[in-house]
Amino acid sequence: MLYNILKILRYLTIFVSYIMKKNRPHIIVLPKVFDPRGSLTFAEGGNHVPFDIARVYWIYDVPAGAVRGSHAHKEAESLIVATSGSFTVHLSDGKSTESFQLNRPFEGLFVPSGYWRTLDNFSSGSVCMVLTSLPYSETDYIRDYNEFLKSCGNHE
């Protein structure tokens, strides 16, 4: 009986950890198929990506020193992948900031809604691919940082 209780507690811990992680930014390792002719990585919505994919876009030819992003989404979730080269993603929830260096085409950064994002430090030739959970809608964007802080309950 004690064994069964411990087993249930273990599964509950795993489940709670999954739920907590889903609502926090984190790196998702995507499948990587090695082939001597070249590797292949893929992502399936609802499987490798924790949402159904509604839109895909990519950013490239970023001039040296340029900053991209500088917005938050009210509802949309994203998976950001450096398909080529590297760049840094800075995320803020209005209270703390975390930075992620992306440089592997088989790793994506999951960004839940409600996080301010800026992307910088793009290497020459880098390509940033973004998978999102919703089609484009300007009403989903918060483009003013002070407005973002107010939406988080922070008044600076």
* Positions marked catalytic: 71
Q: Which of 137, 135, 155 has its CA nearest to residue 145? A: 155
- Reading the block at residue 98, the tokens are 């975390």
Q: Give the integer Cα–Cα distance in Å for 83 and 108.
A: 9
* DSSP label of 49: B
Report helix, strand or coil for 47.
Answer: coil
Q: Give the integer Cα–Cα distance in Å for 49 and 53.
A: 8
List beta partners, residue 129: 58, 81
Q: Give the integer Cα–Cα distance in Å for 70 and 67.
A: 8
